[in-house]
Structure 1
């Protein structure tokens, strides 16, 4: 294994996994496998990039650090020469972490001096300029992320955000340096004499390619999935990887769509889906009272099999906030995680073979409950969302969608793509 990734949620893991598997246009990527949690067994010998998916974005900082260090040690045991800490392209965190504390801990373990930090993902409108994170044409704190129910982002200056989280100095490499090319950028990255976290500007995929090439030989790199665009190139150019196209077997069989995201994009996707497909809304109060449980969800999906049935618990940020204030955020999150996780278990036990999950927390709950282990990365369904297939005698095909990812008709296209109809 050449590159090892530690991802702080499951949708982000699949996002960077498909980036590594694709590589640069015309060149191909690495043979990439995604793991659900820290594996207990060695990786297959042919795996060139391994992505460990954790559910550590919203847990306590010390717990996130512990999980991330365990993942890092396993990846190092597999022979990884470069570790990537993958977080969301909207830098989802609070003033206490978890991006800063995890980065600090990984940097100490790997004994590195300079650490690149770049969440940019221009394909989805996330760019970093003069140290500030933009979503399309808006600063992060004016993009809607300031209302996020778990990690509200109220400051677009990543230097300030990180200084509140990290024990290490924070510096900035401006776009004017990035555009001078990978050699100049690499010199700037290697300049600090003491451990320093470096926010690096990037406003295009070309900038990210320059940055990826400049990270050749870096033991630790952090960022959104875009940071990985050119990382496979470094090993392919050295003749240490051949470059290949991502492939996964196609799976037929019953399908289900489980959605727990409250993002604006997801709400629009649900509205589009229900025009032609059966949709069931879940009320949180009914889940907490026991009136709605896995049995009701499974019955709905089974009744509408073959028509891409979708069940969801979602709403606008204000509605979600009211529910959390009434019942408690942790209680609501735990109840929904359990609901979707147990539902997925019962569906697969009954023969469901294609599952699309919407939202990072929901995706994590589904994959964790199913205990699928290693997942083979296939073709990209939509930007940042690959098809994935579990191993074993009864494989399950999955698509894990982050809240803001995907086109308006994503859900219908995703279930078809997992079957090979797209």
Structure 2
């Protein structure tokens, strides 16, 4: 190995990096073939750091290196070898090379999206599943910047087919961006182009957000400090917080008090909310098949606590006396109630009724939320199938929701019916 290092030192930066990649491929192919527990030794990792991550390259050389890496992953037919190569290159080691790793990783995944290199995206999905959320958010930020900021309008045509060509990456990417954009500030409110893409992915492939859960053996556990198994908690947060977040961040109001961004994003969040409820209804069968029904909470109580705390803070920033603001508040609480009811019925939220009442005690009164906190949750499988209404369909809630005379209609964030033809026993709270 010492002789190899001396040989690499005599080469130019691109040639040396290419040689290390070639060595890595041959070395790990042999490991997979001959060893029951293939791994990368320390000396090889040192070569990767010295000749790929630390050597200075011109912009042209770096582009050529990315093309070489794309070809390397594309031509390697064995997934196990590809995953090991990717791990050797981009597993964070807690040293100075990690910044270079993250920079190169962002450029490689961005290029893989642009040129449709699915093997790289599959490796990136595994990396996202195993890495700390801080670094997952950094990668997500790079991709969103590339496809929403630097190249506005390019996201839809470029990523449109990803949901069918590489579902694992899409699932992990959605999970990462829901942790990146938590709608807590204007800067952390997701771009409309990104929202459009997420909505179209989930609308066309509802099981997409469950891919990681489906592919994870029941006995295995997520690495400590990793992303959630599904993006459901983050998607619920988006849908519930959206009416208040856009109301809070709106700068330039229209004649009816709504904002231009709100008019564009409102129907998208409404469609996303309905899609999330439909996905939740798929869970009982999946969890039962894996032996996890009643044992695995995909929406954690601490996530619910954080969401309700954020809602309380957002409500304090708004003027509750404004009639249009009241419409937004009631829509937010309606969506929260719907998400809670379906999540508990589907086994995604394991929360007692008493804990739920305590958590929601700081929120304003809402008829639907009161029903959820008062009445028993129906057993899984009792709910009828929810049919997606046309995009322009904006029904008002029935007797379970606020009285129509209480609030004026609001077309920007159309309300969705809770669950058609469902009767809930009502016990007044004292």
TM-score (normalizing by structure 1): 0.23
Q: Which has the larger radius of gyration?
A: 2
Structure with a larger share of its residues in helix: 2
TM-score (normalizing by structure 2): 0.22
